[in-house]
Chain A
């Protein structure tokens, strides 16, 4: 495994390899519960907690877990933390717990969490695993908030329950229904793709002598 700096471990999951927006992992919660900002925040924080807890434990126990049954062991550890998160949410914010419903339990099968255990926490020291979990968990939460923000503002005309767009705004009901989830993520991905291709064109122009002969037009 390539050596990396602690800063890189922390920031990688946040932006460059964002679980939802780049790797398309954990789509199930990212689409299902992001119809309001409050739900997105609760889901993001619950997943953050489960990811950080399991990464810490897996990284600590990595020499004790036999290689053959490692996946089952990871799942058991994740399921334990999800049970804790489920009970805590039910006690602290019962309304949101009810709105999220079965999707809290479904954090167990969020492939992003299992992926981080298998690819990172099981091979690295505890400190690095913690940094990676914090970065990835924060990236996941931010992606969920982005989806939740767009969908709540367009679908209800509110942000965190406060009116934002005024009484004359006709809400786009479709944004808070299931199709809105697909459309929002689809357009975010298209936007990212457009931004990325523009950036590549610019870098070709900037490195001009090497860009000679490329088909890219000089746009600036």
Chain B
């Protein structure tokens, strides 16, 4: 049982990395990966929202959606977006420091495809509550890892002499491709 959970975590983090293998959450990956400090905060906020999402999706799937599966997409979106708003208000009240750290990222993350993607994958694979939690944490750690790696490379490219043509998204995409290529190597971790 424990082994399965660890497998889910490592697999979501490295082998099926959300950003580099499944292309989920590309907007923050391109948008806020210019500085390592920002990337770390974005990653933390992501892990936070992913865990909330996983729990919400489990509750909806188990208690509500059995009778009306065709409403799944609509209810996921509405319930997750509202819940993140509520949690945001609560954090603002309880811990202003944490709110400043996660800050503006929370509402942005809600419309990120990684969030809805996690809820849908979790449903399709039939994960239970605990499995879902490990899946969410693994996916969040994977997103953070990809963001931080990308940010550190981009900080270096600012000092390098890049051809004027490649300044901008073209270069970022090619760096992302190389990172993705490196992550393909993790597929060999589980050869059973």
Chain A residues proximal to chain B, CB less than 8 Å: 24, 27-28, 31-32, 72, 75-76, 79-80, 82-83, 86-87, 101-102, 105-106, 108-111, 114, 174, 177-183, 185-187, 189-190, 193-194, 197
Contacts of B24 in A (CB 8 A): 28, 106
Q: B81, B111, B177: which has the most chain A beta carbons within 10 Å?
A: B177
Contacts of A83 in B (CB 8 A): 70, 73-74
Given A82-B73, A186-B169, 4 other A-B residues pairs in contact with their CB atoms under 8 A: A75-B81, A79-B74, A83-B74, A190-B174
Q: Which residue of A lies closest to B22 (CB)?
A: A32
Closest 9 CB pairs of A and B: A182-B177, A186-B173, A189-B170, A186-B174, A32-B23, A190-B170, A179-B180, A179-B181, A183-B177
B166 located at the interface, meaning its Cβ lies under 8 Å from any Cβ of chain A in the complex: yes
Q: B23, B117, B124, B180: which has the most chain A beta carbons within 10 Å?
A: B23
B78 near A105 (CB under 8 angstroms)?
Answer: no
B165 near A194 (CB under 8 angstroms)?
Answer: yes
Contacts of A102 in B (CB 8 A): 117, 120-121, 124
A28 near B26 (CB under 8 angstroms)?
Answer: yes
Q: Which residue of B lies closest to A24 (CB)?
A: B169
Between-chain CB contacts (< 8 Å), 19 pairs: A24-B30, A24-B169, A27-B27, A28-B113, A79-B74, A80-B74, A83-B73, A102-B124, A108-B116, A109-B112, A109-B113, A111-B111, A178-B21, A178-B23, A181-B177, A182-B177, A183-B173, A186-B177, A193-B170
A193 near B113 (CB under 8 angstroms)?
Answer: no
For chain B, give the interface size range: 35 or more
B77 located at the interface, meaning its Cβ lies under 8 Å from any Cβ of chain A in the complex: yes
Inter-chain CA distance A31–B29, complex, in Å, is 14
Q: Which residue of B lies closest to A31 (CB)?
A: B23
